[in-house]
Amino acid sequence: MKHTARAFWIDSPGRGGIRDVTLPPPGEGEVLVRTLFSGVSRGTETLVFRGGVPVSQHTAMRAPFQEGDFPAPVKYGYLNVGVVEEGPRELTGRTVFCLYPHQTRYVVPATAVTPVPDTVPAERAVLAGTVETAVNALWDAAPLVGDRIAVVGGGMVGCSVAALLARFPGVRVQLVDADPSRAKIAEALGVGFATPEDADGDRDLVVHASATEAGLARSLELLTAEGTVLELSWYGDRQVSLPLGEAFHSRRLVIRSSQVGTVSPARPNRTYADRLAVALDLLADPALDALVTGESPFEDLPDVLPKLVSGEVPALCHRVRYDESD
């Protein structure tokens, strides 16, 4: 088997390149994986690419198989789907998901890969990490039958949350985004859509994922009395002001954070592996293909990531395709 690879590195903030890698042969309990697809999460990864991780969060923001340190040079990423070429018999030849950066081949412990169910195409499985975030958010939010819910921010995480909420009985879900083109994605996911100024109010729950100050303020406005905003946005090095005057206290509103780095305390008996397995099972739904809005070959990553940062290439999840000869 081939024991060389190529990896994408952020060489300096805003600039990346592809480097050659020599892989060790897999040892006992390890697997050699050939990447089929990886995914770029436009929120977190573009923030890392531009060097926006605050010093105080350098440790918390480390990806499981990251190399180097923030801001750069660093090898970063966590949405990787590949096929096991060497390893334990029960995994060899299987398609697996791993929280690994953008690299053509890699060696990791067998425990670091999760087999992709036969019902889930490899192309869609790159969404596993983001759907896992949505699973954790809904464990935190604990929506109830018949709830009126808004998801503010139609990015990758917000759309994933909306897609899962669409499965809850009696729940009325509205995706709220300033970009009217997100209406088509909302329709594909089976939820309603509105721009911020036209969004329905009196929501029992608002999930905020726009990573904007205006989005968070609007989320509070959309709540019914004693409602909750579940905050999924991560603002990196930006300061955010909150409108906590006026009726915030008299309406007894709640703002609660949720972050995928910890399994929701609402599910104390679930592990990280349990949560990822749930996410992969949910990806059997073809409606989630709407979250993949672009694709390019691995070789183009140094040119594509700056365009994702600038918005020249609009995307929810941008999929990276790998050549079999790599």
pLDDT per residue as tens digits for the range 259-284: 888 999 999 999 999 999 999 999 99
Confidence label for 96 from pLDDT (cuts 50, 70 and 90): very high
Q: Are 97 and 128 in contact (CB under 8 A)?
A: yes
Instruction: Report the percent of the chain where pLDDT is more than 70.
Output: 100
Q: For the chain, give every domain's residue range.
A: 3-117+285-321, 130-257
Answer whether residue 247 shows pLDDT above 90.
Answer: no
| Phi, psi of 162, rounded to the nearest 5 degrees | -60, -40
Which fold would CATH assign to domain 130-257?
Rossmann fold (3.40.50)
Whether pLDDT at 32 is above 80:
yes
Amino acid identity at 248: F
Give the CA diameter of the chain: 66
| Mean pLDDT confidence for 208-218 | 94
| CATH number for region 3-117+285-321 | 3.90.180.10
Average per-residue pLDDT for the chain: 94
The token pair at 101 is 């950066």
The mean per-residue pLDDT over the stretch 98-127 comes to 97
Task: Label residue 60 by pLDDT band (50, 70, 90).
Answer: confident
> Buried b / exposed e across 142-180, counting CB within 10 Å, b at 16+?
ebeeebbbbbbbbbbbbbbbbbbbbebeebbbbbbbbee
Q: Do the domains spanning 3-117+285-321 and 130-257 agree at the CATH topology level?
A: no
Average pLDDT over residues 67-91: 97
Instruction: Answer yes or no: is pLDDT of 1 > 70.
Output: no
* Residue-level pLDDT at 261: 85
Element (H, E) at 49: helix 44-49
Q: What percent of the chain has pLDDT over 90?
A: 85
Sign of CA dihedral 40, 264, 210, 56: negative
